[in-house]
Structure 1
Amino acid sequence: MGLPPKYDPSALALLDDPYPAYRRLRAQGPLCRGGPAQWVVTRYADVAGLVNDARLGAEFAEEYHRIALGGGDLADFFGHVMLNRDPPAHTVLRRLLGREFTTRAVRDRGRRIDGIVRDLLAPALADGRLDAVTQLADKLPIRVLADFVGMDPEHLDEVREPARILSQAFATYLPEHERAETVAALRWMRDRVTALFEEKQRAPAHDVVSRLCEVDEATATRRALIDNVVFLLFAGFSTTTDLLSGGLAALAARPDQLAILRADRDLAGRAVEELLRFDAPVQVKSRVVHEPVEIGGRVIRPGRVLILALGSANHDEDRFARPAELDVTRHPNPHVSFGGGGIHLCLGAALARAEAASVLRFIAGHFTAMEPGGPAVRRHIPNFRSYLSVPLRLTPA
């Protein structure tokens, strides 16, 4: 059996459009070589079948985090967050944190989300200009999350940059020159969330952190709860920011798709799913192999790591017709951008969908056109699709 091609996340991150490169990798076989003891899975059928495979786990050995992140605070943090925990610890954490993030709970807050969207897009109604990152995508998710966790809105601006820096640690490998600033961002966010717990301990309210203050240490340690709230603030902010900015950039370049939305705003939900498929904010999901797994005739042994290439799977021609085209009417749309279903379904999936759908409905209902207002500026970070700026010109209805 010949040697599979090499997968280089840093090189892919530099591409404005990595999907042709993914197509070439899929054509060469179902597996690529990753880093040490890593295999990358690129085809939809394999990725979709593995995201919830019981032979794989999300909980990595401490040595893996030490090599990837440099040990210390970052390795300790990643050992706590439920993204990297298996049952029973994952089950406990998800039960404690998940109540406010169910589809029903998010739907109950729909008017609040719509109100924030309306406030943030009001300036665009006045002057027809919008930077989808700095004026909308950077602000909407953190405002919504602040409402959920009980954070004072006055402190929101100071959270954005540490959360953005912390996102570097969620790559499969953090370069040494980025580790010091990432550790500093983590420590800052830990201190801020610790202070929030202390505040809610003294004066509880109706929010996630107030409820977590009542959790017994035997159920989950305070440090684990603090780290998972830090994770919520990062994950709910960063990935939704990238969905919104990338989605609006894609729509601005395709006026025919916005016209379809304007004609039928009820398609907003389908449009969100298509934007998630078309340019998934999170491009990969990592899993450790617990039992032998065969892929394309090669047996992956226990202890190896599988990198599931979600972005590549979402563009697999064997599953999606015309995958390189954006089609807001696409249905069904079984993308794997939230990692499939099962116990590791993204906790904030319903919230991200609600925020994006609210933005699309507002834009479709209040603007007759949206086009690029200048060159977009990408943030080149491995395993994510992110922007620093997406200037737009909009024509109010």
Structure 2
Amino acid sequence: MPLPVFALMLVVFSLTTGEFVISGIQPDVAAGLGVSIPAAGLLVTAYALGMIVGGPVVTVLTARLARKPLIAALVTVSVVGNLGSALAPNYAVLLPARFLAGSVVATFFAVAIATAVGMAPAGRQASTVAKVAVGMNLGIVLGTPIGTFIGQHAGWRATFAAVAAVSVAALLLVLRFVPARPRAAAGPVLGELRVFAGRDVQLALALTAVGNVGVVTVFTYIAPLLTDVGGFSAASVPLLLVVYGAGAVAGNLLGGRLADRALMPSLAGLLGALTVALALFWLLGGARPLAAVLTFVLGVLAFAIVPGMQTRVLTTAEAAPTLAVAVNASGFQLAAALAGWLGGTIIDDGPGLRSISLVGAVLTSAGLAVAVYILRRDRARTAPAPGVRTRRSAGR
């Protein structure tokens, strides 16, 4: 892997770890700060809200900046947010620190993809972007369980400090190896924003938000689900997160291939399978061997839907692709923000922890309904007009 690409991939790894590791250390954070599990779940919501607000706003405000100094600035803000999280004396400080750390992530992903494409040799743009995206998978496969292990043995503050340290190392590599490029070309802000008035773009963004909220809700509370419902020990959680992450890698590859062959039909099928898997996790999650298998399956299906959703947004928002990537990331985080609040509500005021998986299945079925609607809309648009005979029917 070329060093400039590796540098960007390492940043993605650190940002992804910082986002998802809270799921593994959530009980430790709650105990350390003297707050409830639902309150700790709101830390996921704060990070997600940072991405939701920061994604489109930061991307628009920085659209005319040169990419290398912009990347450096974005990573620096992330480092400050994670160091603030590590040093936070109480929950009231930790919450805005997580918001700050998340505020630059969506913009970084968008700029990193554009930078990778600009550095790629002719005909190898997609494979170069895929190498950068490997950081996201590694953040789940390695970063999240390693961060959980660090949190359990050195304290949850050490986890955030470790994430900041990796980000600093990645930033040094970016400064050394990523070539300087002219500032990105950008049209008028209102012109770029106008692309989101299109119905197809709106539906694509809705699919990302609605289709992910169910499984993200389950993942947000995966540690207490595995320990309190599945009967696993706390020491087993990092290993099970590795299992989930391995499924995520496989799912990412599978979803990309399926999306290349048949975008919307594959998305509809995967969302249907994810709905079933979440329902089975609710029914069978109390049996440890089945819970372990279903953890892997959820990892596969949760990330198999991502490439298709990203592709759908890009193909419907060709006039503003960088902004579209950032806004789509915000759509995913809208699901994450809702997940932290919703899971806590289910635990405190609803049917309890175990039912989170069932609620996740119901919510995912809503995403399936959006996918089916888009699929039918596409097919109706490409169907022959009434009275127009196809070549085959004309020859009968």
The two structures share one fold, judged by TM-score above 0.5: no
Q: Report TM bin, short chain.
A: under 0.3
By percentage of residues, which structure has more strand? 1
Q: Structure 2 length as normaliser, TM-score?
A: 0.28
More helix by share: 2
Q: TM-score scaled to structure 1, two decimals?
A: 0.28
